[in-house]
Amino acid sequence: MARNLYILAGVLLLFAAISFVMSLTAGSMQPSLPANGTLWKTTALFLTVGGLMMALAGIMTALFEQIDRRTEERRLRHREGGRSSGSRNR
Protein backbone atom coordinates (compact mmCIF):
# COMPACT_ATOMS: atom_id res chain seq x y z
CA MET A 1 0.00 0.00 0.00
CA ALA A 2 2.78 2.43 0.86
CA ARG A 3 4.42 1.84 -2.51
CA ASN A 4 1.23 2.94 -4.29
CA LEU A 5 1.14 6.13 -2.23
CA TYR A 6 4.78 6.84 -3.09
CA ILE A 7 4.01 6.40 -6.78
CA LEU A 8 0.99 8.71 -6.50
CA ALA A 9 3.10 11.30 -4.67
CA GLY A 10 5.76 11.12 -7.37
CA VAL A 11 3.21 11.59 -10.15
CA LEU A 12 1.60 14.55 -8.37
CA LEU A 13 4.99 16.17 -7.83
CA LEU A 14 5.89 15.59 -11.49
CA PHE A 15 2.66 17.28 -12.59
CA ALA A 16 3.40 20.10 -10.15
CA ALA A 17 6.80 20.62 -11.77
CA ILE A 18 5.22 20.63 -15.23
CA SER A 19 2.61 23.16 -14.06
CA PHE A 20 5.32 25.38 -12.62
CA VAL A 21 7.25 25.30 -15.89
CA MET A 22 4.02 26.14 -17.74
CA SER A 23 3.54 29.15 -15.48
CA LEU A 24 6.94 30.45 -16.57
CA THR A 25 6.45 29.83 -20.29
CA ALA A 26 2.67 30.15 -20.73
CA GLY A 27 2.65 33.60 -22.31
CA SER A 28 5.90 33.45 -24.24
CA MET A 29 5.38 30.20 -26.14
CA GLN A 30 2.06 30.97 -27.80
CA PRO A 31 0.77 34.46 -27.05
CA SER A 32 -2.57 33.85 -28.77
CA LEU A 33 -3.62 31.20 -26.24
CA PRO A 34 -5.58 32.36 -23.17
CA ALA A 35 -3.05 31.05 -20.65
CA ASN A 36 -2.89 32.56 -17.22
CA GLY A 37 0.39 32.22 -15.30
CA THR A 38 -1.30 32.67 -11.94
CA LEU A 39 -3.61 29.74 -12.64
CA TRP A 40 -0.63 27.51 -13.46
CA LYS A 41 1.16 28.61 -10.27
CA THR A 42 -1.93 27.89 -8.18
CA THR A 43 -2.28 24.47 -9.81
CA ALA A 44 1.40 23.77 -9.14
CA LEU A 45 0.96 24.77 -5.51
CA PHE A 46 -2.04 22.50 -4.96
CA LEU A 47 -0.34 19.58 -6.73
CA THR A 48 2.79 20.09 -4.62
CA VAL A 49 0.78 20.11 -1.40
CA GLY A 50 -1.14 17.02 -2.55
CA GLY A 51 2.09 15.24 -3.45
CA LEU A 52 3.64 16.03 -0.09
CA MET A 53 0.53 14.83 1.73
CA MET A 54 0.58 11.55 -0.23
CA ALA A 55 4.28 11.11 0.59
CA LEU A 56 3.53 11.66 4.28
CA ALA A 57 0.66 9.16 4.08
CA GLY A 58 3.01 6.65 2.43
CA ILE A 59 5.61 7.10 5.15
CA MET A 60 3.03 6.71 7.91
CA THR A 61 1.54 3.63 6.23
CA ALA A 62 4.97 2.02 5.91
CA LEU A 63 5.72 2.73 9.58
CA PHE A 64 2.42 1.27 10.80
CA GLU A 65 2.85 -1.80 8.57
CA GLN A 66 6.29 -2.36 10.09
CA ILE A 67 4.89 -1.99 13.61
CA ASP A 68 2.12 -4.49 12.84
CA ARG A 69 4.60 -6.95 11.33
CA ARG A 70 6.96 -6.76 14.32
CA THR A 71 4.10 -7.08 16.79
CA GLU A 72 2.82 -10.16 14.98
CA GLU A 73 6.32 -11.71 14.93
CA ARG A 74 6.73 -10.99 18.65
CA ARG A 75 3.31 -12.50 19.40
CA LEU A 76 4.17 -15.66 17.43
CA ARG A 77 7.53 -16.00 19.22
CA HIS A 78 5.80 -15.61 22.56
CA ARG A 79 3.16 -18.18 21.61
CA GLU A 80 5.85 -20.72 20.61
CA GLY A 81 7.09 -20.67 24.16
CA GLY A 82 9.96 -18.33 24.53
CA ARG A 83 12.23 -15.74 23.19
CA SER A 84 15.01 -16.25 20.72
CA SER A 85 18.51 -15.84 22.09
CA GLY A 86 19.14 -12.57 20.22
CA SER A 87 16.04 -10.65 21.20
CA ARG A 88 15.93 -7.89 23.78
CA ASN A 89 13.57 -7.73 26.72
CA ARG A 90 10.69 -5.38 26.04
Q: What is the pLDDT of residues 53-69, one digit of tens each?
A: 999 999 999 999 999 99
Q: What is the pLDDT of residue 27?
A: 65
Q: What is the pLDDT of residue 25?
A: 79
The closest alpha carbon to 6, from 48, 50, 55, 53, belongs to: 55
Q: Assess whether pLDDT exceeds 60 at residue 89.
A: no
The Cα–Cα gap between 56 and 69 comes to 20
Answer whether 2's CB lies under 8 Å from 65's CB: yes
Q: What percent of the chain has pLDDT over 90?
A: 57
The mean per-residue pLDDT over the stretch 30-45 comes to 76
28 pLDDT band, cuts 50/70/90, is: low
Phi, psi of 88 (to 5 degrees): -90, 160
- The DSSP 8-state label assigned to residue 88 in this structure reads P
The Cα–Cα gap between 72 and 12 comes to 34
86 pLDDT band, cuts 50/70/90, is: low
Question: CA end-to-end span of the chain, whole Å?
Answer: 29
